[in-house]
Structure 1
């Protein structure tokens, strides 16, 4: 397998919705997620608005013409509701957003047959390389031990717990502080 990754804008990413649905469905069907068709629909209702903001960027992994992975997000606006889902008190200095401070990483997924080949690491590095934000923020299921290990290896630290949407299980809120040129 020869995987290549490409940095895409919102329009280019939206054009790949059908293939990205397949990535999501396969990546999150197995434990600890156990997500099904209704979860895919919920995620892709959000996806259609997520590809629109200024600063949106995605990295999509391809094996030939087959989409095998995705990572995407955008800078959090001043009015973000992300911090409102945190279940524990968070200092104002941590939760303050100015529209440029934090890049929200909304999805990072690799289809099972392409895991453990460095695809997620390559996508993550390309996604955050050159962004002008001070940090990257994401939510991750604590039971997703492989994802948690990758995030820690990339430098993320846990800063709280959140219930990101109604009916969701608790997620760890994780931050990666970026340095100039990272």
Structure 2
């Protein structure tokens, strides 16, 4: 039987090795093509991220084994400029980026072991990590190169708020099912 537990900060550290293992299992295959180096970077970032305001992690356990996780926190102003954040602000524009994303719960990572894909576990983790967000304001970025991820978020009621060119690559922003700006998000042509 799978159970999901919430962690709000430093108490997650005891599970870092298991989270790294799930990360490798989830992201080593196409379209992500990540490996041990990215998993080490993930754990390094996680050491800092557990101290962020609003940090929340939903971790799925089968017995004592970690089989999935979702991690988020409150996006603070000024909007970050590292990693993939510039793609989000370029797609939304600075005013919408600040209004829609700053102060909202950012879902940074969602990963499940391949054996649990298709079981509803990823949906449970996404719901758990975003359930308590103020005013329903949650958001995430994902790669347009993963049609599976894009379809998954749409099925969960998330709406795509940025749209690359038809041949585009890169990241897109999704707004959560209760985000107040959902109706304002530009729909693709």
Q: TM-score, normalised by structure 2?
A: 0.81
Q: Take 1:56 and 1:150, find their aligned partners in 2: how far apart are those partners?
A: 23
Superposition deviation, residue 179 in structure 1: 6.0
What CA RMSD, in Å, does the superposition of the two structures yield over aligned residues?
2.4
Contact 2:76 2:103 in 1 (8 A): no
Superposition deviation, residue 174 in structure 1: 1.6
Higher strand share: 1
What SS does the corresponding residue of 2:107 show, helix, strand or coil?
strand
What SS does the corresponding residue of 2:141 show, helix, strand or coil?
strand
Task: Give deviations 1:128-166, integer Å, cap 9, x for gaps.
Answer: 11221542121111122222111011222222269xxxx
Higher helix share: 2
Q: Take 1:160 and 1:98, find their aligned partners in 2: how far apart are those partners?
A: 12
**Residues 16-27 of structure 1 correspond to what in structure 2 (within 5 A)?**
16-27=15-26
Task: Give deviations 1:5-30, integer Å, cap 9, x for gaps.
Answer: 11111112222100000000000011
Q: Take 2:116 and 2:91, find their aligned partners in 1: how far apart are those partners?
A: 38
| 2:175 aligned partner | 175
Question: For this pair of structures, how many residues does the alignment match?
Answer: 173
Q: 1:144 aligns with which of 120, 125, 146?
A: 146
Q: Which runs of 5+ in 1 are unaligned?
A: 163-168
| 2:113 aligned partner | 111
Q: Take 1:85 and 1:98, find their aligned partners in 2: how far apart are those partners?
A: 15
What SS does the corresponding residue of 2:176 show, helix, strand or coil?
strand
Q: Take 1:98 and 1:121, find their aligned partners in 2: how far apart are those partners?
A: 23
Q: Take 1:58 and 1:89, find their aligned partners in 2: how far apart are those partners?
A: 27
Contact 1:70 1:109 in 2 (8 A): yes
